[in-house]
Amino acid sequence: MTQYKTYLVVLVVAAIGSFAITPSVIRLALTWGAVDHPNARKIHQKLMPRMGGLAVYLAFCLPWAGLYLINNPISAAFRDFEKRFLALVIGATAMLILGIYDDIKGANAGKKFIVQVIAAIVLWFGGIRIEDLSGPWGTPIDLDLWGLPITILWIVGVTNAINLLDGIDGLVTGVTAVMAVCLAIINILSGNILLALLTLSLAGACIGFLPYNHSPARIFLGDTGSLTIGMVLGGIGILSLHHEGRQTAGPLLSIPFILFGLPLFDTLRVMIQRLAAGKSMFEADKNHVHHRLLEMGFSQRQAAWTLYAVAAVLGIAAILLSQLEHGRQSVFTLLFAGLGATVYAVWRLVLRSRFLTDEDAPEQG
């Protein structure tokens, strides 16, 4: 019972911290000129402060600072985990600084990518790494020298997926909270106390920020938030699902891709469509799933809550998969993949029937 009280305390402390810090961040963003101007591509109609991720970052770190002030079994275990935690914080701090610069001055995609890769390398050398891959149908394959580039690909991929998902009020904040809670449950069921606390700290920080970010938003996460959250999620995903001594085969080919399915799938779909249209993969557009929901008549609140529900369904599926025996994971994965493909096909049919244009229609004659 004491252990569960600790989980609750970390969640609440992070949430209260984020809620209390955000008004100061709003004033700071306005003072520094970290504001988002409305334009044809943007949904909001007025000047909005950005840089809200600073509040999430500080609140995420807040419960962990307390571990240096107390002496109990959790703080003792944290000493052994400290190197990896500091690597994660360094990576998150790099994204925070990059995001603040981008929210104030603007940074091109090339600069962002370079900093993300460097941060991912820092995480690798800090012990946050992917060293083998397997599916639920086979034994792990030692990646050897491929471990570093695959770790970088995962971390940079998740970071950018979260960044690109940040298109309507409260979407990334709420989806991150849902994914973090589900990841915490996976860690709790696996007995990974520190990792559960880490994910609950992120969830709490997002929950405390959400009242200011939910539609109609008073502040945006900005790249300060979406890049930082993406880096933290990518690192926590590796620690949680690829930890030392794990017994479950193949989490990186099933559980993470289901749990992180919403941002990863949306990003991959948009990137493929941009390439097919001969556009740059980094060119902004209104082709993300939340834009589609808005086109269908959803309000920002309705679109956000719909995607919260999608994230929750994926999270529950990931939790169930993490608890299955080795032999049953492949069956569950295939069934869920089939269900996902069916849902996507129906989604495409609905969009085509609703938004079919003359250009898309078959030629006559």
Backbone angles phi, psi at 208, to 5 degrees: -70, -30
Host domain of residue 277: 2-355
Side chain identity at residue 285, one-letter code: D
Task: For residue 365, tell me if it sits in a domain.
Answer: no
Task: For residue 94, tell me if it sits in a domain.
Answer: yes
The pLDDT of residue 12 is 95
Q: How far apart are CA 54 and CA 224, in angstroms?
A: 6
Task: For residue 278, tell me if it sits in a domain.
Answer: yes
Q: How far apart are CA 355 and CA 357, in angstroms?
A: 6
Backbone angles phi, psi at 35, to 5 degrees: -130, 155
Rg (CA), the chain: 20
3-state helix, strand, coil in the chain (%, to 5): 70, 0, 25
pTM summary value? 0.86
Tens digit of each residue's pLDDT, the chain (365 residues):
567 788 888 999 999 999 999 999 999 999 999 998 776 556 666 789 999 999 999 999 998 877 777 676 777 777 778 889 999 999 999 999 999 999 999 888 888 999 999 999 999 999 999 888 765 555 677 778 888 999 999 999 999 999 999 989 999 999 999 999 999 999 998 888 888 999 999 999 999 999 999 989 999 999 999 999 999 999 999 988 765 444 444 444 677 888 998 999 888 888 888 787 777 666 666 778 888 888 888 899 999 999 999 999 999 988 988 887 666 666 666 676 677 677 767 766 666 666 554 444 333 32
Task: For residue 364, tell me if it sits in a domain.
Answer: no
Task: For residue 112, tell me if it sits in a domain.
Answer: yes
Task: For residue 74, tell me if it sits in a domain.
Answer: yes
Q: How far apart are CA 121 and CA 128, in angstroms?
A: 9
Task: For residue 344, tell me if it sits in a domain.
Answer: yes
Task: For residue 361, tell me if it sits in a domain.
Answer: no
Count up the domains in the chain and report the number. Answer: 1
